[in-house]
Amino acid sequence: MCTVSGVLIIKGENYRDIERRFAEIVARGTDRGRDSYGVIVLDSDGATRSIKATRTPSPSSIKGLFTPKTSLAIANNRAEPTTERVDHKSEEDIQPFESEHFIVTHNGLIANDREIEAKYNIPRRTRIDSAVIPGFLESRWKGGSIESLAEDIRELKGSYAMIIADKRRPDRVFLVQNFKPIYMAYDYELGAVFFSSLDDYLNYGPTDRANVRKLRPYTAVEVDRNLSLKQVDLLGQRERKKVLVVASGGLDSTVAATKLLKEGHEITLLHFNYRHKAEEKEREAIRRISRHLNVDFVEVDTDLFRIIGGSTLLKGEGEIVRGNEGEEGAEFAHEWVPARNLVFIAIAIAIAEAKGYDAVASGINLEEAGAYPDNEMEFVRLLNALSPYAVGPNKRVEVLMPVGNLVKHEIVKLGLQLGAPLHLTWSCYEGGEKHCGTCGPCYMRKKAFKINGVEDPVEYQEAKGVPTVS
């Protein structure tokens, strides 16, 4: 809907260069808003100045607005929603909006603006929903702390990324966001902290001298001129989580599930039957594991990967690699199933959101990250960054990797320590009566138990040519 931008000045002597830099950021912000723009600056004595226009800004648009006394500035580039179209705009229709004590720039929609207006008797001269926010803060935000702001802001329904200035405290800015983005960059040469809706608008190019970071969704943040940052979670975290564990019936996901259970979380196993060679054996294993752990499980039957194809792990799609006693199959993704973990976790997130789970987890681990990109810890980190934009407003589904930092023999060791039902697991890519002993997972499994000096509790085929792991 808009671009919100701001700057907190640390080195006032650089105000001209900071103004020039901020003007560039505001000009870039037209990418997310072309109907109008506005800038309000706040001086150290609480005085304000502004420029507002129904055109797009250029890098020279705000020249001369900053002075040596300027402490901060906030700006808005508006993309006017269809539901709030104003054909003949005046300055009163242009953000940022201002009240006696507060200046606010807002990106998003406030769905209950009329109720807020009536409840707090807020004078409003525009139909733009964001105009109620400064008056709302005058009425509600009496404590002045970032903690009380995080509590009070919950009354607003809708989407928001806000940069807030308090005229009585011009040495700091406040930022509040749900799923709308805010990025922050500290330019240590200029001595200023910049904020904007996209990191591209803060980009310095190849000679970047700023530390650019994304503020975490669903947080309220306070930043002052001493570069002190306070952050409060808007949704809160439950110590004991409800976790949906994507579980194949193999070692990794079974140990991951057992670990979460031992830590006191409530878990449900989620298993996918996707027409792979070991489908029947894995289904049998996961049912036994769920009974042993005394937890619920959910099965999803899908023909999706049969339609996609392209993997020898699927029935009728070719032979499993067994070279070099199974080591070759363990060290390269010969049996890669296109985007499998992404698909599974996406479905798990959807089920978790619908059924009220706090998190999803899997057996993603460091060992298989050597061959499979979707086992890399970075994959899970990026999924967590994506998750707030994949679920509904004011909801959170975390993506956990309980064994993400472990290799196979460490997973076996942890499973033994936790009393995980390793004897019930199925690791083999094939679906025979016993583990084949020569595919990649069989090789890693046998090696991992041998390193721990423990006999593997599952049986292997005793066919001619099956190697002994040394």
CATH number of the domain residue 432 falls in:
3.40.50.620
Report yes or no on 457 lying in a domain: no
With bands split at pLDDT 50, 70 and 90, how would you rate the model's confidence at 113?
very high
Q: Is 436 assigned a catalytic role?
A: no
Same domain, 134 and 250: no
Cα separation, 26 vs 18, whole angstroms: 12
Same domain, 229 and 246: no
Same domain, 218 and 277: no
Same domain, 246 and 229: no
Closest CA to 387 of 355, 342, 420: 342
| Among candidate residues 233, 252, 270, the one where a domain is terminated | 233
Report yes or no on 427 lying in a domain: yes
Average pLDDT over residues 203-222: 81
> Tell me: the pLDDT tens digits for 245-278?
999 999 999 999 999 999 999 999 999 999 999 9
Report yes or no on 357 lying in a domain: yes
Q: Domain containing 119: what range? A: 2-233
Same domain, 168 and 38: yes
Report yes or no on 464 lying in a domain: no
Same domain, 170 and 258: no
Whether the predicted pLDDT of 370 surpasses 90: no
Same domain, 248 and 221: no
Report yes or no on 456 lying in a domain: no
Structure tokens belonging to residue 112: 């209950």
> What beta strand segments (E) does 381-430 contain?
398-400
Same domain, 157 and 253: no
> What's the total number of domains in the chain?
2
Count of beta carbons in the 10 Å neighbourhood of residue 383: 22
Report yes or no on 136 lying in a domain: yes
Same domain, 214 and 297: no
Q: Could you give the count of Cα atoms lying within 13 Å of 253 in the half-sphere of its Cβ? A: 28
Q: Report pTM.
A: 0.87
Same domain, 73 and 149: yes
With bands split at pLDDT 50, 70 and 90, how would you rate the model's confidence at 468?
very low
Percent of residues, the chain, with pLDDT higher than 70: 94
Q: List the CATH number of the domain containing 90.
A: 3.60.20.10
Same domain, 314 and 391: yes
Evaluate whether 102 touches 167 at the Cβ level (below 8 Å): yes
* Residue 21: C-alpha distances to residues 9, 26, 58, 172 (Å): 12, 9, 12, 19
Same domain, 263 and 223: no
Supply the angle between the helices 408-418 and 440-451 in degrees, to the nearest 10.
60
Average pLDDT over residues 293-310: 93
